A and B are shown apart, each in its own frame.
Chain A
């Protein structure tokens, strides 16, 4: 069965970076893009960016440009999202999700930014 398994909770200080992983199994990893979605506590879903299946091209929303990097390792079927220069407003649950029309999601990773 298709699974996306994310890395665990992270606690970071302001100004630090965090790298969250998303390991895929149960399907052909190279056939689907991976998006990252974040959800600040009590708020809605926010699409951050993705890495495409076709050519590995990345796209990010303007809000995170220069501060986020999405990568993938096809040898381990793992996607990564790195967010730099963390601020307290980055405290959120971060999800990875498959494809377009997200039929499978990771379980979410809580990132807490606090001094």
Chain B
């Protein structure tokens, strides 16, 4: 099975900072990658699908890029409400594996 890794595992950034999270697949998955945000005790929220398509209603400060094995989620101007854990997920074929997550704290 394809393994998903993310880096960093956690980060702390200030409001207004540019934040970048990387996701890597152990084999190519085309652009079948999604990004989710989850806050404590809440349901995960889809941010990005097809590697770079912004889900409806998601602020434009979120963007995704990449294809094949290497992907990036960028938050251009970090806001206080952007704290939480971010997960990538492959969905080109089963299993639809998640990455281990990146915890983002806002200073």
- Contact surface of A with B, Cβ cutoff 8 Å: 35, 37, 44-47, 49-50, 59, 61, 95, 100-103, 105-108
B95 near A102 (CB under 8 angstroms)? Answer: no
Chain B contact patch, size range: 20 to 34
Interface residues of B (CB under 8 A from A): 1, 32, 34, 36, 38, 43-44, 46, 49-50, 55, 85, 87, 89, 91, 94-101
List the B residue with the shortest CB-CB distance to A62: B1
Tell me which residues across on chain B come within 8 A of A108, comparing CB atoms. Answer: 43
Identify B94's interface contact among A59, A102, A106, CB under 8 A: A59
User: When the two chains form their complex, are residues B43 and A101 in contact, meaning their CB atoms are under 8 A apart?
Assistant: no
Interface of B (DSSP majority class): loop
With A and B bound together, what is the CA distance between A26 and B98 in angstroms? Answer: 27
Contact A105 B44 (CB under 8 A): yes
Q: Is the CB of A102 within 8 A of B34?
A: yes
Select from chain A the residue with minimum beta-carbon distance to B42: A108
Q: A45-B87, A50-B96 are in contact. Are A101 and B101 (CB under 8 A)?
A: no
**Could you list 8 examples of A-B contacts with CB < 8 Å?**
A44-B85, A44-B87, A44-B98, A47-B95, A47-B98, A49-B95, A100-B32, A101-B32
